[in-house]
């Protein structure tokens, strides 16, 4: 074949297609129908069963809803914490203020972005790192260590104290205007640097810039209360009131969970990463001077064993995955056997987990919670997932992930150190290897 496609090539391609009855049947089916509905495999569909041998006993009745925002990582983290709070006070349901969390995150990300601009003042505006920094400085996404940094610094408050706003639930326009302002600030900092202003002078400018961002956040999300009262009625109909609480005190005194005891494991079988090695992602974070992102790259079975131990000990597990693959949203099912795409398109899809990551076919897109696991003959077969997309999908908002899907598209779990072998725990005391900010292991923050 020559460099370009010739008319004779097209004739051969067309004859080959039209000589296949099954390809024409597939064409006729897909012209007017959704691919997933046509490709759904009967044996995958008929075996959907939302029952599990092991679930946490204090699972919430009502799942949360992040709506049109990318705050899955924060929702999953706050959902992990609310389980413990509801158990402590024997209450049926509870939600932390995801809006307050978002406010703190956006403010810190703005400062983090401006500090990264100060670190890269000598880069050309069109360098790859500058293009990365300017692309999406305050998107909604994040990683586990970023979540812990925010909670440890700002604490939490009930949703009733700072409820959702329109902009927190539909964040696209707010993000657009704050991003526009941050790009303007980046230009001004770099311009003043070129005019030989000192870094100290630039940081004085930065403080005024952050005041503008703070005001924009107040306009969109509301200004956060400095203290609040919290009152509840427990399952025994007993009334409780707590007065004059501050967010950081609410976290430290009322939430029985030690976030700093939890560590993040990834499974990234890529040619540029070693197993049993500690990694970080350069230029990825939110709280300046907070803990950097740390991932221990481990075998998938290490992740599973730690997650199972956690669930058996009544602790949910935060995780990050590529949720859109082999997934049906209405059914709430993630299953490698759910669809038979190869029969529809009459071609095999041969990329494995490693090559999907390396060639841009998969990355972390969503964070959720494991609240249960089904174990047969000492092996996990499927996982119960608490999502943050409301109650409509799956089993009242709880989804099903098969074990084979876990192998292929789950990339990250967060577990307490006590559930890990000592050799894995020791990895977190090493100096991590830095990954490029566009590495797929940093994608959840976007």
Q: Which residues contact 329 (CB under 8 A, 6 or more apart)?
A: 389, 393
> What are the structure tokens assigned to 92, written together?
């049926």
Instruction: Convert 244-268 to b/e letters by CB count within 10 Å (16 or more is b).
Output: ebebeebbeebbebebeebbbbbbb
401, containing H or E segment:
strand 398-402
Which of these, 318, 125, 270, 114, lies nearest to 205 by C-alpha position? 114
Dist CA 313 CA 302 (whole Å): 17
Q: Are 164 and 74 in contact (CB under 8 A)?
A: no
Asked about 244 being catalytic, the answer comes back as no
DSSP-based helix, strand, coil % in the chain, nearest 5 = 45, 20, 35
Asked about 264 being catalytic, the answer comes back as no
CA distances to 55, 164, 371, 394 from 315, in Å: 9, 27, 8, 22
Asked about 366 being catalytic, the answer comes back as yes
User: Of the listed 149, 297, 387, 410, which one is catalytic?
Assistant: 387
376, containing H or E segment:
strand 366-376
User: Of the listed 65, 72, 175, 286, which one is catalytic?
Assistant: 72
Residue listed under structure tokens 């029969």: 343
Phi, psi of 357 (to 5 degrees): -70, -45
Which of these, 114, 72, 150, lies nearest to 318 by C-alpha position? 72
Q: Which residues contact 73 (CB under 8 A, 6 or more apart)?
A: 141, 142, 143, 144, 146, 147, 320, 367, 444, 445
Phi, psi of 87 (to 5 degrees): -70, -40
Using alpha carbons only, how large is the chain's radius of gyration in Å?
24
Strand 333-334 with 295-297, pairing? unpaired
Burial environment of residue 98 by CB neighbours within 10 A (0 to 12, 13 to 18, 19 or more) = buried
Dist CA 399 CA 383 (whole Å): 8
Dist CA 125 CA 367 (whole Å): 33
**Torsion region of 433: left, alpha or beta (phi above 0 gives left; psi -120 to 50 gives alpha):** beta
386, containing H or E segment:
strand 379-386
Q: Catalytic residue positions?
A: 72, 366, 387
């Amino acid at each position: 074949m020559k460099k370009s496609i010739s008319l004779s090539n097209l004739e051969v391609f067309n004859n080959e297609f039209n000589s296949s009855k099954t390809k024409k049947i597939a064409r006729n089916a897909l012209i007017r129908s959704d691919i997933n509905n046509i490709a759904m495999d009967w044996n995958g569909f008929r075996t959907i069963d939302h029952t599990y041998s092991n679930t946490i006993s204090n699972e919430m009745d009502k799942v949360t809803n992040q709506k049109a925002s990318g705050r899955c990582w924060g929702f999953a983290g706050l959902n992990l914490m609310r389980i413990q709070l509801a158990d402590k006070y024997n209450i049926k349901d509870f939600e932390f203020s995801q809006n307050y969390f978002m406010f703190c995150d956006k403010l810190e990300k703005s400062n983090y972005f401006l500090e990264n601009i100060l670190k890269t003042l000598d880069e050309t505006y069109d360098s790859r790192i500058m293009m990365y920094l300017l692309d999406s400085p305050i998107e909604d996404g994040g990683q586990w260590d970023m979540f812990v940094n925010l909670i440890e610094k700002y604490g939490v408050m009930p949703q009733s104290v700072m409820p959702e706003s329109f902009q927190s639930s539909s964040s696209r326009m707010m993000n657009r205007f704050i991003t526009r302002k941050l790009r303007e600030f980046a230009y001004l900092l770099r311009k003043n640097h070129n005019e030989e202003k000192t870094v100290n002078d630039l940081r004085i400018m930065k403080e005024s810039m952050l005041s503008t961002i703070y005001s924009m956040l107040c306009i969109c999300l509301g200004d956060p209360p400095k203290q609040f009262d919290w009152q509840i009625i427990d399952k025994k109909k007993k009334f409780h009131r707590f007065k004059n609480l501050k967010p950081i005190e609410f976290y430290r005194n009322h939430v029985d969970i030690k976030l700093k005891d939890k560590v993040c494991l990834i499974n990234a079988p890529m040619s540029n990463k070693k197993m049993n090695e500690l990694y970080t992602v350069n230029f990825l974070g939110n709280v300046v001077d907070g803990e950097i992102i740390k991932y221990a790259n481990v075998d998938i079975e290490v992740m599973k064993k730690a997650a199972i131990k956690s669930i058996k000990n009544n602790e949910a597990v935060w995780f990050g995955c590529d949720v859109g693959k082999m997934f049906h949203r209405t059914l709430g099912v993630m299953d490698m056997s759910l669809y038979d795409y190869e029969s529809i398109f009459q071609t095999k899809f041969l990329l494995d987990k490693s090559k999907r990551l390396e060639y841009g076919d998969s990355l972390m897109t969503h964070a959720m919670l494991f609240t249960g696991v089904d174990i047969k003959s000492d092996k996990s077969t499927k996982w119960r997932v608490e999502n943050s997309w409301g109650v409509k999908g799956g089993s009242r908002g709880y989804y099903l992930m098969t074990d084979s899907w876990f192998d292929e598209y789950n990339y990250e779990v967060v577990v307490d150190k006590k559930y890990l072998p000592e050799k894995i725990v020791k990895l977190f005391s090493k100096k991590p290897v830095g990954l490029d900010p566009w590495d797929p292991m940093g994608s959840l923050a976007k």
